[in-house]
Structures are given as C-alpha cells and as structure tokens.
Amino acid sequence: MKKNILILLLSLFFCACNQTDERKHTTEKKSETVTPSAQTNVFTKREKLIGEIKTLMQAMAEKDKPAILAYFNFPLADSSVNFFGVDPIFDAARKANNDRITKAMFDNSFASIYQKTEMSEFKNLIKFLKINNLENQDSVNYDNIIKGDGCYYFYSISVDHHDEVTLTYGTNSNDEYRKSHPDEEEICSEYAVAWIFKFDGKALHFLKHRIAG
C-alpha cells in the first residue's frame, strides 16, 4: 500500500514539474513576442530632434509667447542676442541692467522683439523646407526666387555634430534681376538672421541669435 502511495506521489510530482516547465516555456515565448512590438515605439535621437524643431517653429510662427519664452534661459547675456533699438523702455532697462536681458524685459517688449527679428519668417521655414529630410541628412535649404523681384529669399536648417541646430532666413540679390536691370546700383537690401539652439537629447535650448546685413 505504501509502495502504491509513493508511486502515486512521484507521478503527481513529475506531472507538476512538467506543467511548470510548460508554463515557463509559454511565458518565455510570450515575452519574446512582446519585445519587438515595444521597440517600434522607441524614437531615434534624430526623429526626436525633428519633432522638437517642428514644435519650436510652430511656436515661433504662431507667436506663442509662453512657448517661445520657455526656450530661453534668463537672464540673457547681451552678447547672445542682436536685440538693438527694441523700444525706449527695453533699451533703458538693458542699460540699467548691465546689458543683461531679463525675462520680464523680454516679456514686456515681446511684440517689438518679434517684429524686429522677423520671427514671422518661421512660417516660411515651415512652408518651404522639407524638415523630415533631416532624418537622413544634416541640412535642408530652399531659395524662393520670385520673378521681377530684386531679392530672393533663402531658408535653411542645419544640424552639426554637436547637436547644435541653426535656423536661418534672409534675402540676397537676385542675379537674374540684376542682369536685366544693370542701371540699378542696389537691387536688394540683403540680410540674414540665424537662431541657434542646442539639443540635449530631449529638448532644444536657445544659444545665440545673430543678424547680418
């Protein structure tokens, strides 16, 4: 009798072990099938950067003051921006603040800064540039040449190996127009504006603003 009970217990033990192994094997299989689908939701660093550039440009184009202010680390050193002749109150405050620009100064004179730096041109960056191409290349450019206009309008975004992003817009002389109007000394008021941001892997942060021309 005892021998039969022992045989029965051993049979139950081996059966339980086999079921445990089967459950373990099934669980491992399920785990293996979940992993690939989870990986599809992971963005690459460049894809994340492209998304952040689009968000920045949209904020600039829509004149979204709170969103724009969030990109700046205040106070700003005067050397990091070309904000000159903004308005009498801003200019006086900058002089009194040892040429440093506070958030309150930027906030109070936002409309004037937006106009003088031509931030509205970010609408054309969105319109003309194929930003998604930055996934496979480090720059995108577009020249908007208008027939009969002494200027052509250029737009570009570039990313360097330090993850610094430069967004540029401006004007240059239209050579075709110059050829057909040789008597005109100045056919275009040339200038260029550059906004430079640093990407830290998660977000963009303002570095420098430059104006030439």
Instruction: Quickly count: other Cβ atoms within 10 Å of residue 117's Cβ.
Output: 18
Structural contact between residues 174 and 187, judged by C-beta atoms closer than 8 angstroms:
yes
Can you give the residue ranges of every domain in the chain?
45-212
Which residue did the predictor score with more confidence, 141 or 16?
141
193-203 confidence digits (pLDDT tens) = 999 999 999 99
pTM of the model: 0.78
89-145 confidence digits (pLDDT tens) = 999 999 999 999 999 999 999 999 999 999 999 999 999 999 999 999 999 999 999
Q: Across residues 154-161, what is the average pLDDT?
A: 98
pLDDT band at 15 (very low <50, low <70, confident <90, very high): very low
CA distance 196 to 80: 10
Instruction: Map tokens 């099934």 to a residue.
Output: 26
